Amino acid sequence: MKAMVFDACGGPEKIHLAEVPKPDVGREDVLIQVKACSLNHMDLFVRQGPAEPGAKFPFWGLADVAGVVSEVGAGVDTCRPGDRVIVNPALSCGACEFCRSGEDSLCVDFKILGDEIPGGAAEYLAIPARNITPLPDDFGFEEAAAIPLVFLTAWRALTTQAQLKPGEDVLILGASGGVASAAIQIAKLAGARIFAVTSGTEKAARAQELGADVVLDRNEVDFARETLRLTADRGVDVVLENVGTPTWKQSLQCLARAGRLVTYGRTAGLIGETNIRELFIKQTRIIGTTMGNRREFAEVTRLVFQRRLRPVIDKVYPFEQLRAAHERLEAGAQFGKIVLSVGS
Specify the residue, 92 or 301, whose C-beta has the smaller distance to Zn ion: 92
**Cis peptide leading into residue 50 (ω within 30°):** yes
Specify the residue, 7 or 97, whose C-beta has the smaller distance to Zn ion: 97
* Shortest distance (Å) from residue 99 CB to Zn ion: 3
Specify the residue, 210 or 291, whose C-beta has the smaller distance to Zn ion: 291
* Shortest distance (Å) from residue 150 CB to Zn ion: 23
- Which contacts of 95-99 are long-range, i.e. CB under 8 A and separated by 24 or more positions? none
Ordered strands of the 169-172 beta sheet: 214-217, 193-198, 169-172, 236-241, 255-263, 285-288
Q: Which residues bind Zn ion (CB under 5 A)?
A: 92-93, 96, 99, 107
Specify the residue, 94 or 269, whose C-beta has the smaller distance to Zn ion: 94
Q: What are the C-alpha distances in Å from 225 to residues 205, 252, 271, 278, 307?
A: 22, 12, 22, 16, 36
Which three-class secondary structure state does DSSP give residue 176? coil
Q: What are the C-alpha distances in Å from 320 to residues 58, 62, 63, 117?
A: 16, 14, 17, 21
Which three-class secondary structure state does DSSP give residue 174? coil
Specify the residue, 107 or 132, whose C-beta has the smaller distance to Zn ion: 107
* Shortest distance (Å) from residue 112 CB to Zn ion: 14
* Shortest distance (Å) from residue 117 CB to Zn ion: 15
> Measured between alpha carbons, how far is 138 from 156 in angstroms, rounded to an integer?
26
Which three-class secondary structure state does DSSP give residue 313? strand
* Shortest distance (Å) from residue 294 CB to Zn ion: 12
